[in-house]
A and B are shown apart, each in its own frame.
Chain A
Amino acid sequence: MIIYGTALLAACHLLGIFIGDLLGQLLGVKTNVGGVGIAMLLLMAARLYMLQNNKLPKLTELGVEYWGAMYIPVVVAMAAQQDMVSALRGGPVALLSAVAAVAVCAMVIALINRAEVLSPQAPDAAQLNNPLVAAEE
C-alpha cells in the first residue's frame, strides 16, 4: 500500500522534528536543532531495517519516492516566496557581508574538495536510487 510509505515518511518527519525541538530545549536554544537531519537519519535506518527483513514492497517505496521526486517542484515554489525585495533593499552592508561570506566559504569548499581522493572504481559514487527521478533525467 502506497500510504504505508508516505505514513512512514510522515512518522520519521514528525519524530525527527520532535527530537530536534527536544534537543533545542535541552541546549537552551529557541529553535529546532537538526530536526530534519535527524528525520533523514531515522528514515535511512528504517529503510535499511525493512530492506534487511524483506518488509519493503515496491509500493511502500513509491509512497516515499513520490515525495522525493516532488523535491524540485517544491524548491521552485520555495524560491517563489523568498523575500527578494527585502534582500535587494538591504543596502551595501547586507550585500557586501553576504557576498564576502559566500566567497570565503566557496574558497574553503573548493579547497577541501580538491583534497578528496577519488577512488577509481567509483568515479560517480552518487547513484540515483529513486526511479521516479531517474526517469526524468
Chain B
Amino acid sequence: MLDILEKAALHNGLVTAFAVVGLIVLLAGQISKHLTFGRVHGSAIAIVIGLALAYWGGTQTGGHKGLADMSLFGGIGLMGGAMLRDFAIVATAFEVQPLEARKAGLIGVVALLLGTVLPFIVGAAIAWGFGYSDAVSMTTIGAGAVTYIVGPVTGAAIGASPDVMALSIATGLVKAILVMVGTPVAARFLRLKTPRSAMVFGGLAGTVSGVSAGLAATDRKLVPYGALVATFHTGLGCLLGPSLLFFATKALVG
C-alpha cells in the first residue's frame, strides 16, 4: 500500500509538489489565524516553514537543493525552480499600473546602482577585516554580498579560489534568507507601502529570491513593482563585479 502511494508520488513529482505546498499554505494560514491572531501574514509563515523544510532536507541528503533533493519531493524543485518562479513573476506584471511604475523609474535605477555598490563595499571591507586582503578574494566575497549568483560568476571570471567562492555563495545565501524573513518584520521601518517604495526596496535589497519572497510575505500588491527592479539586479551585478568593482578594489589594495 505505502509502496504504491510512494510510487505514485514519485512518478508525479510536480503534482505532489502542488499538494505539498497547498498543505504548507493551509497549515501556515491556520497558524497565522489561531496562534498569531492574524498579526503575522500566512504567507510569511509559509515561507519560514519552507525554509525550515529546506534545512531539514539539506541535512538529510547532504545536497544543495533543500527539500528538492529528497526524491519524494523532487517536484518542489520544478515548482519553485527558476522557470516557474520567473513565469509567475512575469505574470504579476499584469497588475502593474504603468503610471506608478514610470513615476518611480528613475529612483528605481538609482536604488539598483546603490543596491549593487553598497553591499559590495560592505562585503569586501568585512572580507578584508577577516584577512582576505587580496583584491580577488575581496571582490569575490563583496560580489557575494550583492547576490549569490553575482558572487560565483565574478569569482570565476577573476580566478578566485574554491574556498573563497564557497564563502561568497554562502554570503549571498544568508543575505537572501535574511531578506525573505526580515522584510515583513521591518516593513514598517522601511516604509514599504507604495509602488515607489517597493521599487526602491527591489533595487536596494537585491536578490530576486529575497525580494520576491520578502514582498510576498509583506504585501502581495507590492510584488510586481519590487520584482520589476530586482530582476535587473543579478545582471547589473555580473556586469559590474568582474569589471568596474574589481578594478576599483585592485586600485585600492594593489
Contacts and interface: CB of A to CB of B under 8 A. Distances in A.
Contacts, number: 356
A20 B123 contact: no
Contacts of A76: 21, 24-25, 43, 46-47, 49-50, 80
A37 B68 CA distance: 27
Nearest to B170: A90
Contacts of A16: 90
B72 interface: no
Contact of A68 (B92, B195, B212): B92
Contact of A128 (B95, B193, B235): B95
Interface residues of B, number: 121
B119 interface: yes
Interface of B: 17-18, 21-22, 24-25, 43, 46-51, 53-55, 57-59, 62, 64-68, 73, 76-77, 79-81, 84-98, 100-101, 107, 111, 114-115, 118-119, 122-123, 126-127, 130, 132, 141-142, 144-145, 149, 153, 156-157, 166-167, 169-180, 182, 186, 189-198, 200-201, 204-206, 208-209, 212-213, 216, 219-225, 227-229, 231-232, 234-236, 238-239
B196 A116 contact: yes
Given A76-B80, A81-B77, A36 B25 contact: no
A80 B196 contact: no
